[in-house]
Amino acid sequence: MALIVQKYGGTSVANTGRIKNVAARVANYYSKGHKVVVVVSAMSGVTDGLIKLAKEIMPLPNEREMDVLLATGEQTAIALTAIALHSIDIPAVSLTGAQAGIVTDGVHTKAKIRNITPKRIHELLTQGKVVIVAGFQGQTIEGQVTTLGRGGSDLTAIALAAALKAELCQIYTDVDGVYTADPRIVPGAIKLEEISYDEMLELASSGAKVMQSRSVEFAKKFGVVFEVRSSLNDNPGTIVKEETKNMEDVVVRGVSLDKNQAKVTLVRVPDKPGIAARVFKALGDAAVNVDMIVQNISHETGAPATDLSFTVDKPDLLKAQKVIDALKPEIGFGKVIATDNIAKLSIVGVGMKSHTGVAGKLFDTLARQGVNIEMISTSEIKISVVIDLAKAELAMKAVHAAFIG
């Protein structure tokens, strides 16, 4: 008999039929004698719909009120899930985040969990109840409703699994697990049996978003092993856990593609101390998220100058250009080239730490496809390249074939 935390995402509770399907899955574990805590997200589209309603009234609604509003999405889903369990004679009780003892800081719309006191959950489990907890929400010590940032139900589940010392934490979604690449682009992509927290985080930051990154960081910090699997079939999913020695046998765990980036190049930037600081401080102040940065030292004689390139999220490109244009008189660079016809291709794997020649093989594979590399960045377990958007999918298929098969 185990204590199991199961999280069902928005698509898994998208309609009453799907909610009944969730109830049947929960009942299956419950009837084997397990204690089951279920975390649910809002039905798919509901959170977006609520945000849209508020923005119809005013563009920047008050964040406290947004939290009160958005928390209703999950509150609907927990009650319906409890009702679906009752309909098949399983005793179930729904709890809001606050009722479940989830205490957060007061940063509305992106609150952090301070602590969890799961006293009520334990009492209900002891009484033989299935406990349904609203994901994505909590309460400040002063009793204000808060939410944990988009995708925050994952965090609720991981944090509850840690607080309850659950034997099993299952994240149910609409895909079978974590794949070596997006199967819609690479038909030969393979579902991974296991992946390390760090690989999962690097894949997420390079475009393969299966789970909210903060929740994976939380799981890593507290050592919560979890499984990502589908609520629509019984296939085993992918286990996410701390890296083990044999994980390094595989050089590349996955390939990901981020088509949501744009590139800005400042030509002939004066090569002297303080310029990069000035540029990136200004971008940061404008809340533009910068990902890759490439700059070379200048070797010319005369007034030294260098080209400076960086990438930003595609929707931020115009904002970034405005910030840069405003700096031009002060810094005195040449022209600015901005393009959103790029993609970032990344290979990720803890095996890179102990294998050589990985970068060479990647670049060679791209060269054979006639793909030009515009920028390169590396970490201990990742190599990313910026390439032409038009060739991105072709490149991804070739790289997957070269490293994974």
Interface residues toward ligand ASP, by CB under 6 A: 10, 41-42, 47, 73, 135-136, 150-154
Q: By the 8 A CB rule, do 235 and 176 touch? A: yes
Partner touching 146 among Mg ion, ligand ASP, none, CB below 5 to 8 Å by kind: none
Nearest approach, Cβ of residue 254 and Mg ion (Å): 21
In terms of CB distance, is 139 or 346 closer to ligand ASP?
Answer: 139
Residues 6+ positions from 388 with CB-CB distance below 8 Å: 341, 342, 343, 371, 372, 374
Query: Can you tell me whether residue 29 is helix, strand or coil?
Result: helix
Partner touching 237 among Mg ion, ligand ASP, none, CB below 5 to 8 Å by kind: none
Nearest approach, Cβ of residue 104 and ligand ASP (Å): 14
In terms of CB distance, is 81 or 153 closer to ligand ASP?
Answer: 153
Tell me the C-alpha to C-alpha distance, in Å, between residue 65 and each of 49, 55, 71, 152, 177.
15, 12, 10, 18, 35
In terms of CB distance, is 38 or 262 closer to Mg ion?
Answer: 38
Please, which of residues 16-55 interact with Mg ion by CB under 5 A?
41
CA 365 to chain centre: 28
CA 118 to chain centre: 26
In terms of CB distance, is 97 or 351 closer to ligand ASP?
Answer: 97
Nearest approach, Cβ of residue 73 and Mg ion (Å): 10
Nearest approach, Cβ of residue 47 and Mg ion (Å): 8
Strand partners, 228: 171, 238
Nearest approach, Cβ of residue 80 and Mg ion (Å): 16
Partner touching 136 among ligand ASP, Mg ion, none, CB below 5 to 8 Å by kind: ligand ASP
Burial degree of 257 (CB within 10 A; 0-12, 13-18, 19+): buried
In terms of CB distance, is 218 or 333 closer to Mg ion?
Answer: 218
In terms of CB distance, is 118 or 152 closer to ligand ASP?
Answer: 152
Nearest approach, Cβ of residue 197 and ligand ASP (Å): 19
Nearest approach, Cβ of residue 138 and Mg ion (Å): 17
Partner touching 177 among Mg ion, ligand ASP, none, CB below 5 to 8 Å by kind: none
**Residue of 6, 7, 10, 12 interacting with Mg ion (CB under 5 A):** 10
Binding residues for Mg ion, rule CB under 5 A, total 3
Q: Pairing state of beta strands 375-379 and 254-258?
A: unpaired
Q: In what order do the strands lie in the sheet with 145-147?
A: 113-116, 102-104, 137-139, 145-147
In terms of CB distance, is 77 or 392 closer to ligand ASP?
Answer: 77
Residues 6+ positions from 93 with CB-CB distance below 8 Å: 82, 124, 129, 130, 131, 132
Backbone φ, ψ for residue 45 (5° rounding): 90, -15
Tell me which residues touch Mg ion (CB under 5 A). Answer: 9-10, 41
